[in-house]
Amino acid sequence: AVAGLLVMTTRWWPAAALACGGFWLSSAAFWTAPSLPDGLRGLDLERGQSLGRDGALEQQRDLIAKVMRVAGQGAGIVVLPESALGFWTPSLERLWRDALASTSVTVIAGAAVVDPCGYDNVLVEISGHEALILYRERMPVPVAMWQPWQSMMGQGGGAKAHFLTSPVVELAGRRAAPLICYEQLLVWPVLQAMLYRPDAIIAVGNGWWTAGTSIVAIQNAGTIAWARLFGVPLVTAFNR
């Protein structure tokens, strides 16, 4: 690509343009989707803005039922979208652990962990044996979520940014690179994770607020491109 751009600044630019066009046509003709990681399946939802905000017990039971249906199709690990569980509490942990107690299914789901200084946008790992915070978002959406000026003024609130921590997590004996929503639109979270040679990419998002736009499609296209570039299996889970 760099060589092609350099040649296009010379009098031989038509040849460079033809060569770049040929490479593009070749990649389009032989393109294949990224493979799915063995045993992992993503569960897309269409809950709109109610996802993670409706704390009713029936909502959680409905999510559990959906997870069991996907697990019944052979998935050992089911991935739910960003913010799927809402606020992560001991009561919610107990509900999910009890539901998974008689199974070998593991659930990876988005949630929020709140403390007096703000909150973390996280992915939690839940099984019948334990529940733990698997990943804390490295780069929340600036202004809308990440508000560092709040702490400078002695106020709490806003999502925390864990810039360079845990780009890769251990999941069922494999290294996985989680990407939550906005991180999929940036370059450095992916490149940082790829330095650790992950076995899979887990991309989740909650895009109900982007209705009528192509933002979710752009995120999907971006993660697919990264997965194809580095030859890494990809699993996604989005709420619309």
Q: Is residue 9 part of a domain?
A: no
Q: Is residue 14 part of a domain?
A: no
Q: Is residue 19 part of a domain?
A: no
179 forms beta bridges with 203
Instruction: Decide if 120 contacts 160 (C-beta within 8 A).
Output: yes
Q: Is residue 6 part of a domain?
A: no
Containing domain of residue 189, as a range? 34-239
pTM (two decimals): 0.88
What is the residue-level pLDDT of the chain in tens, covering all 240 positions? 888 889 999 999 999 999 989 988 988 788 788 888 999 999 999 999 999 888 789 999 999 999 999 999 999 999 999 999 999 999 999 999 999 999 999 999 999 999 988 999 999 999 999 999 999 999 999 998 999 888 777 777 789 999 988 999 999 899 999 999 999 999 999 999 999 999 999 999 999 988 889 999 999 999 999 999 999 999 999 999
Distance CA 109, CA 126 (A): 8
What digits encode the pLDDT tens for the residues 158-171? 899 999 889 999 99
What digits encode the pLDDT tens for the residues 44-64? 999 999 998 887 899 999 999
Write the DSSP symbol of residue 52: T
Q: Is residue 86 part of a domain?
A: yes
Q: Which CATH number covers residue 128?
A: 3.60.110.10
Q: Is residue 2 part of a domain?
A: no
Q: Is residue 16 part of a domain?
A: no
Total domain count for the chain? 1
